[in-house]
Amino acid sequence: MKISVDNDRCEGHGLCAERVPALFELDDDAELVYHFEGGTVPPEHVAAARAAIDSCPVAALREIA
């Protein structure tokens, strides 16, 4: 699975970073950092990544094929 992050839409709520810190974090400026940008989410994090996508209150994350 791959994830697309809409940085213009992201408001820095950090729910994704709380759910999957191995994939997401907020930097010092509260900007989202996605550690696998352009890559595939490791299999052991797929379920949590989907939960993070579903938890985003502004729909800034989406699964892409």
Ordered by where they begin, the domains of the chain are 2-64 (3.30.70.20)
Task: Give residue 46's pLDDT band: very low, low, confident or very high (50, 70, 90).
Answer: very high
Query: What separation in angstroms does the CA of 53 have from each of 17, 28, 43, 44?
Result: 11, 22, 16, 16
Choose among 16, 27, 18, 22: nearest CA to 60.
16
Q: What pLDDT is recorded for position 33?
A: 96
CB distance 20 to 12 below 8 Å: no
Kindly report the CA angle at 64 between 63 and 65, in degrees rounded to 5?
130
Stated pTM of the model: 0.89
Task: Tell me the two tokens of residue 37.
Answer: 């940008």
Interval 8-36 mean pLDDT: 95
pLDDT at 65 over 80: no
